[in-house]
Amino acid sequence: MPNMKVVDMAGKEVGEITLSDKVFGAEVNEAILHAAVRAYLMNQRQGTQSTLTRSEVSGGGRKPWKQKGTGHARQGSTRSPQWTHGGVALGPKPRSYRVNLNKSAKRTALFSALSSKVEAGEMIVVDNITATEYKTKAMVAMLAALGTAKKTLIVLPEVNSFVIKSCANIEGVKTTQWNTINVYDILNCDSLVVAKDAVTKIEEVYAR
């Protein structure tokens, strides 16, 4: 089982934690990670883009000229795709881009993402991440003391509006809770800062 030191918000070591092999010491499956990231990004798409076909644009009800004898190509409507203000041929229409992963694949991807951060030394366990007022400066000082990179994901054991709003104005920093973490956010950050209680809850749910 991988062991990690636990630090406080000032960056001082205050203990050690033994992580679950199943969750934080799993073999990294790059294929599953790719599938999970692709599914996440595809599911962010609204799919509301739409264009008007020749049957939907206004006008063009009259044949512009007679069929023969004008020297022009025969035309039935001025709203065909080749005309200015005409409809769009083969344009996009509303559709769903949703991609589904089964529960087993989602868990494997999450374990792989967390394990990759532990393996790369990019995960930091903090004894307690808390705040009693809205103070961006306090969160900036904590991140500096922890030596985090520019893109940081902070995982909390529960909703703490003081911490969340204090981090909201810090560029590259995102906060989430243990039960809403996703593979994309984990892989997209350079430093993963996790509260000790959040680690415990993740293991309680996923290590069974």
> CA of 105: how far to CAs of 7, 33, 110, 160, 199, in Å?
32, 9, 9, 30, 21
Nearest to 150 by CA among 91, 193, 96: 193
What is the per-residue pLDDT for 1? 61
8 Å CB contact between 160 and 131 = yes
What is the per-residue pLDDT for 150? 86
Does the pLDDT of residue 77 top 70, yes or no?
Answer: yes
Does the pLDDT of residue 12 top 80, yes or no?
Answer: yes
In whole numbers, what is the pLDDT of the chain averaged over residues? 93
What is the per-residue pLDDT for 60? 85
Give per-residue pLDDT as tens, 29-56.
Answer: 999 999 999 999 999 999 999 999 999 9
CB atoms within 10 A of CB 24: 26
The average pLDDT across 143-168 equals: 93
Does the pLDDT of residue 64 top 90, yes or no?
Answer: yes
What is the per-residue pLDDT for 61? 87
> How sure is the predictor about 87, in pLDDT bands with cuts at 50, 70 and 90?
very high
Spatial separation of the C-alpha atoms in residues 109 and 103, rounded to whole Å: 10
Helix (H) or strand (E) holding 154: strand 152-156
Residue 170 token pair:
């810090």
DSSP state letter for 192? E
What is the per-residue pLDDT for 39? 96
Spatial separation of the C-alpha atoms in residues 75 and 71, rounded to whole Å: 12
The average pLDDT across 158-183 equals: 93
Spatial separation of the C-alpha atoms in residues 175 and 185, rounded to whole Å: 10
The average pLDDT across 89-116 equals: 94
Q: Spell out the CATH class of 3-28+102-206.
A: alpha beta
pTM beyond 0.85: the answer is: no
